Amino acid sequence: MKRAIKDPKLWVICSLIAVGASFGIGGSMGAIGMAAGLLGTAFNMFALWLIIRLLGNAMADKPQARFGAFVTVVMFLIKLPVLILLGFAMRNLGPTALNHFLIGLGLVYFALVGWSQSQD
């Protein structure tokens, strides 16, 4: 089971299943909301992971690429506004899109908990 959780293909398949299920339940607005929730939160987690890695490398006195460090810091600073803007956009699309957006957001956090428990 731990091996399967670490496989990126599983995450892509589960995301596609979640978007398909949202389409079946909420139509196109549900699918748009779920996709926005999954992608927005995945961006959030990716930016957080990059900044933690950047800080870890800085503490180990490893050389840093200036442009890469700049992009990482910018991604980290815009991750919360991106989620907020996506939330507002889903709210404007209607309650179905907003509900599925929030479910997608929760799914990514639950998946992160599962992934962390699978680490050795």
Does residue 120 carry a pLDDT above 80? no
Structure tokens at 99: 């509900």
Q: Find the helix or strand (DSSP H, E) in which 61 lies.
A: none
Tell me the pLDDT tens digit for each residue of 61-118: 877 788 888 998 999 999 999 999 999 999 999 999 999 999 999 999 998 888 888 8
pTM of the predicted protein model: 0.86
**Which are the contacts of 50, defined by CB distance < 8 A and separation ≥ 6?**
72, 75, 76
Q: What gap in Å lies between CA 109 and CA 106, rounded to an integer?
A: 5
| Count of structural domains within the chain | 1
C-alpha distances (whole Å) from 57 to each of 3, 61, 104 are: 27, 6, 31
Provide the domain limits for residue 55.
Answer: 2-118
In this prediction, residue 1 carries a pLDDT of 65
Q: What is the pLDDT of residues 33-54, one digit of tens each?
A: 999 999 999 999 999 999 998 8
pLDDT of residue 66: 85
